[in-house]
Amino acid sequence: MNQIFSNVKMVLLFHGIRVNDGYEDCQDGSDESNVEYVGDYTCHDGGEIPLQQVRDEYDDCSDGSDEIYFDDRFADCEWDATLNMWACSGMPMPEGIWSGTLASDGSWTIIVEESYDTFTVMITPEMTIESFTILPADDGPETYTAGTGGFVTSMNMELAEATPPFILEFDGTPISPGNNIFECDDGTLIAFSSVNDGNDDCSESEDEPQYEQIETSAWDCVTGEPDEWLWLSEVSDGLQHCLDGSDENLTALFECNDGSTITIDMVSDGTEDCLNAEDEPTYDEGEEEVSEFDCGEDDYLIPLSYVNDGYQDCENGSDENQGEGHGHGIYEVSTIGLGSETEVIEWNGGSLTDSMSADGMDLVLTMCDSFVERDSDLQVSECGDDVQRWSLAELFAGDVVGIVFYDEDGSGTLTDGDSFEITEELDEDLEWNAVRLAKGSAYCR
């Protein structure tokens, strides 16, 4: 019952405004937990969102009530074992007469009588807050009820199932390919992976980079100025280039290298009429690329040779046919909510050297169906079972090929600013598209 009272005291004192604020105001840390089953927060307009989305710096409630901030009146909070509750220098716990009644169905009615106010808290048999009422001395009662502006939260005493408010910021290439296709000029559809792969899959080779062609074949005019010549491709092209017009005298003869002759109209016509094809222009390939790829963003174009080269050149990633989710690259660990701004508490995810540490966290590979990007934070949901799980101590010790952990501050614990890298050396037989930090059955988002 003392545990219930101490949690209720925090509910009375904070009633939702201290959730995900960077301070563990509840003994079990559930006010700061990202545990998915902890409970829901009821927005002021009656809508519900997961509790871990409260005060995460994003408006998840349609009315924005999950991001209402109040003055920070609490600082230097410490757990008082004697009082069995938190004591904060900025705002002491309510003084007064505490009483509680346990009903036959397991529900509680908690009453706190102060000099000016009386608080009544109704707790369900499932240990959730149903409502609480504030009865000021001069005004009428003010009641906060679940579903009408209050919140429901599990009073779970298992701190081992609570996770610090960490997120992973991913910078790299998703391991899952996209579903794009490439359309050839004649309408043929080919797999996007076939673009810039060294094979001509389109009939006109437009799926492969094309470069400027520098002509090397020349033709001498019959008469006219000394050394008068032109490119062979200009012969019989309908335009007179030689002063004597011999390049357009279509019935005149052109002598092949073997002594045979053809008429001028057969020169540079796309058909090899001479035995060694000297009647057709020859070219060397230049260095300047002339083929382009449309990123689809305001006609933004890049060279076709940049497609499928392992680097994202289009802002939308369309040149790499990137799928959704995580993959090979750098993952930076960050805290969310007010916890990322406060200097009072520095969150840590447990030891990086002791794999048996009770407060240690794990890195988990899994397959997820939903990805929502908010700035550099890629939130995952609808995830299946763990594909692979390692303790951070295993990663830090270098026991996992393909994952390198960087303890940026040298603290020996997982803290804000640490990072790790997943390389292509990681077991290619593992099928995954998302990386998560976890503590037991609780996952950071």
Would you state the pLDDT for residue 10? 42
How far is residue 320's CA from residue 311's CA, in Å, rounded to a whole number?
7
Backbone angles phi, psi at 30, to 5 degrees: -70, -20
CA separation (Å) from 258 to 119, 148, 254, 261, 273?
110, 97, 12, 9, 12
Question: What is the mean pLDDT of the segment spanning 108-127?
Answer: 73
Q: Is the pLDDT of residue 22 over 90?
A: no
How far is residue 189's CA from residue 302's CA, in Å, rounded to a whole number?
21
Would you state the pLDDT for residue 205? 92
End-to-end CA distance of the chain: 32
How far is residue 310's CA from residue 338's CA, in Å, rounded to a whole number?
37
Domain boundaries, the chain: 2-159, 166-176+323-443, 181-210+291-320, 212-286
The pTM is what?
0.43
**Of 15 and 169, which is predicted with more confidence?**
169
Q: Is the pLDDT of residue 26 over 90?
A: no
pLDDT category of residue 97 using cuts at 50, 70 and 90:
low
DSSP state of 305: G
| Length of the chain, in residues | 445
Question: What is the mean pLDDT of the segment spanning 88-104?
Answer: 58
Please write the tens of the pLDDT for every residue from 364-386.
999 888 777 665 567 777 888 89
How far is residue 44's CA from residue 25's CA, in Å, rounded to a whole number?
22
Would you state the pLDDT for residue 60? 81
Please write the tens of the pLDDT for every residue from 201-221.
999 999 999 999 899 999 888
Please write the tens of the pLDDT for every residue from 303-335.
999 998 888 888 777 888 777 788 889 999 887
Would you state the pLDDT for residue 135? 77
